[in-house]
Structure 1
Amino acid sequence: MKTRFYLRKSTKSYSINFEYRDAYLNIRLRTSTGYSILNSKSWDDKKEQLKLPSSVPNAAEINTILSEAISSFNKFMLVARESEVSELSIQKFMDQLFKKKKHVSTEIDNVQKRTLIDYYEWFLKFYSENNSPYTNKKLTKGTIKTYRSGLTRLQEYINSKGLNKFSFHDCNRDFYNNYIRFLTEKNYSKNYIGTIIQKLKTILGYAYDEGIHSNNEFKKQYFSKLTEEIDHVYLSIEELGKINSLTLTDDELDNIRDIFLIGSFTGLRISDLLGLLKKSNQIYVQDGYKYFSIRQQKTSNSVVIPLNSIVLEILKKRNGKLPVYMHQNLINQHIKCICKRAKITNIHVLRRTEGGNEIEYELPKYKLVSSHTARRSFCTNAYKSGMPIQDIMAISGHKSEKVFMNYVKVEKTENAKRIAKHAFFN
């Protein structure tokens, strides 16, 4: 006796079927479980169940139902064989077996009939509550905010064109060019437009893999993310020293200063740094050295970070405790004031493309400092000190050298001087 669950392809989906075979009695019976999926990639042929994590809603619950159904069927067959139950009775039991089960929708309700906007909305809701099959994580609040911004821009474009609906198949070369032009005319920066395009490509990719549409234009080279290198500021070791030496009588400013300095000498993302402040016992000692050990929210990587003298001074000042948690917005608001008081006021020239034109801003450096400047400062200062890139990346958690180098802000002439000291040029 053999039983199995398998997929049966229909026009737009795959139904999950149940089969019973008995070679001795020459019986082969089949029935539909009542569940269907849009993409066969969501199914595990070996385990005969839905893959987990999955883009299929309630996948774990469906797997449980299938497992319970097999158990019920096996119990039935133990009695059926002894009682010589007819083939018709077995088929009837099989048909009734799944009708009794609680209905769980395995599809995005009529999603193949919906618009791209509908899927975009579903994507944000579903993956904020369920793990992605690609990253094995839920969307973070920050990521959702970026996606939501992309959805708003797309809706604005659709409304500007007076379109009643916008489908996946409308995403072609003409759309791409018109959308870029629309966003450019809104005076958005080139990198922001690139982010909007990148999120749209992700949405189109998920829907494509789920079999919701067959338009592969988003995979072509022209449908690319726009990007440009921006000369963001970082703070040198000397400038960080000025901040550390400041006399701050205000407890809130002192707390923000210490948070920023810890970020500048650990390379932690602000989300991980603030998460660290919410917990206790995050410091451990080994062979006389102190470390932070955390699991990064964005990448799920575990990193171990040695604590330098400035971080240790901060801990000593606070009787071994970390600074008090403060919201990122509050840190961004006050760190500029702290930098100004530390006389980090030299003019910084910032160039970027807005509205299709290169714009040049000349601003006092302190006005361009934010919580993220701390991580950029760590990467740049560590790189300039001669620390091997792989060692820095082991601390910062960057997965690729290309992404890491985007954080390093070193002038070409300065970089050439560093390289010139290598034995190869001596």
Structure 2
Amino acid sequence: MAKIKFLLQSKSENAQIYIRVSISQFVSLKKKTGFTINPKDWSTTTDRPKQNNPENKNTHTNLNKLETFIFDQLNKDLANGTLIDSYWLETQINDCFGRVIKTDTGLLINHIQHIIDNANTRKVKTNGGFKIGLSASTIKNYTLFKNIVSEYQTTIKKQIQFIEITKPFVDKFTNWLINTKKYSTNYSGKQLEILKTVCIDADKNEIPVTPYSKTIEHFRESDNERFIQTLSFEELEQIKNADFTDVEKLKEFKKENPELTKNISITPETLNNARNWILIGCEIGQRGGDLLNITEKNIRNKGKSIYLDLIQQKTNKNITISINAPHVIDIIENHFPKKTQHQKLNNFIKIVCKLTGIDTLVKGTKLNTKTNRKELGMFPKYDLMASHCFRRSFATNYYKKIPTAILITITGHSKESLFLTYINKREDKDSNADLYRHFYEDLHKNKQPQLKVIKNGTND
């Protein structure tokens, strides 16, 4: 059985009180409790302060509290197979008294929390200047990053100081993200990007940081490693023309696909609703969250034209889209889809695509639910489809058919290079020149050549 003992190791007036936790004959841990006392006021009989004044009584109470807390945590963590070491003991002492030193701005995790706590008043740079407040997705990214840093601190058994974020530290952190946690290249690179952002922000707040921390290089998958999934115009036509009215056929489909249709109501109504979201999504080029927030209030009629106005959640950009496809106009005017949960829509997209025969084997990444990591392989195309494919489908389908400058005003990309990376394309200068010629010819095709009389300077 574990034993806990409090002791002094100094005879100075403000001697540190230590705690020693003996787990077995061979494992004994010792750490400072954070409390001090004059050795004259220490009882070697009880291993506690003498209760001869209010301060000592308070310390006595706190040590009893700590003893109970550590016994409780020790029993839980031993049962769970948690590593019990000096770092564990230090963590328990701090947790018992809530000693996350929030005033210690030199700690990486404290500044991440500072950013989260002040998210609603932080300035964010935009194309038009600045806006106030971080988006919900950005706050989520910082929160997830904080959790990752907390886990890494447990692994290395120390809290990370800004002045420790050097190249060797970042190399070890990167190795842990990719090789130990098995995070994808993009996700690991994103964590390094956030780390760099936090370090730069700390420097702006006059917190000492290493010069290297402001130049951390992040990364993403190369073009050869990226496999994006889109729905072509032909596949969208299949979806548009699919018949979901045969109820018996839908019941049979549900029986044959228990995993795909688990906890999902497969009816003509639910499938038509999902189909309408798919067809709208692939024509307006917006993220899934923005798509599902659209209501009839976002629709604006101007003469014979129909416009969709929205503000993108991620970028806070005001976007206006002209609705031109007749079948989408019909959906918006007569069959506006009901709002649905994002994850439910993702499930329905796979079902709709399978029912319409979009099942060719394609290379891509799919989440392994057992490891909670994406794995590369060959899968039926419907299995890789989700709402993020709508935006890519729009961008891919209309690329080279409509000037890229117009497309990026709809997708919200800030630069053409980002747009091309998004659809995994390289800039094709010849194609751009051909597109210019096409528009030039259209502009001048109805102009009649004009004869011009040129004087030759004689009277003949």
Gaps of 5+ in 2: 1-100, 246-266, 369-373, 438-460
- The reply on whether 1:252 has 2:270 as its aligned counterpart is yes
Q: Which residue of 1 aligns with 2:329?
A: 312
How much has 1:232 moved relative to structure 2? 0.9
- The reply on whether 1:213 has 2:208 as its aligned counterpart is yes
- The reply on whether 1:226 has 2:185 as its aligned counterpart is no
CA distance in 1, matches of 2:326, 2:414: 27
Asked if the contact 1:111–1:212 (Cα under 8 Å) also holds between the matched residues in 2, the reply is no
How much has 1:369 moved relative to structure 2? 0.6
How much has 1:138 moved relative to structure 2? 2.2
- The reply on whether 1:121 has 2:129 as its aligned counterpart is no
- 1:373-414 Cα shifts (integer Å, max 9, x gaps): 000000001104x210001111111111121112225699xx
- 1:197-239 Cα shifts (integer Å, max 9, x gaps): 111111112111111224331222xx21121131211110111
Q: Which residue of 2 aligns with 1:361?
A: 377
CA distance in 2, matches of 1:351, 1:411: 22
How much has 1:142 moved relative to structure 2? 2.2
How much has 1:111 moved relative to structure 2? 3.8
- The reply on whether 1:181 has 2:199 as its aligned counterpart is no
Q: Which residue of 2 aligns with 1:94?
A: none
How much has 1:153 moved relative to structure 2? 1.7
How much has 1:144 moved relative to structure 2? 2.2
**What is the correspondence of 1:19-418 to structure 2 with a 5 Å cutoff?**
111-127=103-119, 129-132=120-123, 134=125, 135-163=130-158, 165-185=159-179, 186-220=181-215, 223-228=216-221, 229=223, 230-249=226-245, 250=267, 251-277=269-295, 280-307=296-323, 308-318=325-335, 322-350=336-364, 360-384=376-400, 386-409=401-424
CA distance in 2, matches of 1:261, 1:248: 15
Gaps of 5+ in 1: 1-108
- The one-letter code of the counterpart of 1:162 is K
Asked if the contact 2:228–2:423 (Cα under 8 Å) also holds between the matched residues in 1, the reply is no
- The one-letter code of the counterpart of 1:180 is T
Q: Which residue of 1 aligns with 2:87?
A: none
- Considering only aligned residues, what root-mean-square deviation do their CA atoms show, in Å? 2.9
Asked if the contact 1:169–1:215 (Cα under 8 Å) also holds between the matched residues in 2, the reply is yes
How much has 1:131 moved relative to structure 2? 3.6
How much has 1:112 moved relative to structure 2? 4.7
Cα pair distance change 1:339/1:137, threshold 3 Å: farther
CA distance in 2, matches of 1:132, 1:324: 35
How much has 1:419 moved relative to structure 2? 7.0
Asked if the contact 1:347–1:363 (Cα under 8 Å) also holds between the matched residues in 2, the reply is yes
Asked if the contact 1:111–1:119 (Cα under 8 Å) also holds between the matched residues in 2, the reply is no
How much has 1:115 moved relative to structure 2? 1.5
Asked if the contact 1:335–1:370 (Cα under 8 Å) also holds between the matched residues in 2, the reply is yes
Asked if the contact 1:207–1:213 (Cα under 8 Å) also holds between the matched residues in 2, the reply is yes
- The one-letter code of the counterpart of 1:167 is Q
Aligned length: 302
Is the radius of gyration larger for structure 1 or structure 2? Answer: 2
How much has 1:254 moved relative to structure 2? 1.6
Q: Larger relative contact order (C-alpha < 8 A, sep ≥ 6)?
A: 1
Q: What is the DSSP-based 3-state SS (H/G/I as helix, E as strand, rest coil) of the residue aligned with 2:319?
A: strand
Cα pair distance change 1:347/1:411, threshold 3 Å: farther
Cα pair distance change 1:416/1:168, threshold 3 Å: closer
Asked if the contact 2:274–2:348 (Cα under 8 Å) also holds between the matched residues in 1, the reply is yes
Q: What is the DSSP-based 3-state SS (H/G/I as helix, E as strand, rest coil) of the residue aligned with 2:229?
A: coil
CA distance in 1, matches of 2:349, 2:340: 12
How much has 1:276 moved relative to structure 2? 1.4
- 1:232-281 Cα shifts (integer Å, max 9, x gaps): 1111011111111122342222212211211110111222212213xx43
CA distance in 1, matches of 2:436, 2:286: 33
Cα pair distance change 1:192/1:423, threshold 3 Å: closer
How much has 1:423 moved relative to structure 2? 8.5
CA distance in 1, matches of 2:419, 2:155: 38
CA distance in 2, matches of 1:125, 1:149: 14
Q: What is the DSSP-based 3-state SS (H/G/I as helix, E as strand, rest coil) of the residue aligned with 1:136?
A: strand
Identity of aligned residues (%): 27
How much has 1:122 moved relative to structure 2? 2.1
Cα pair distance change 1:142/1:113, threshold 3 Å: closer
Asked if the contact 2:231–2:393 (Cα under 8 Å) also holds between the matched residues in 1, the reply is yes
Scaled by the length of structure 2, what TM-score is found?
0.60
Cα pair distance change 1:162/1:382, threshold 3 Å: same
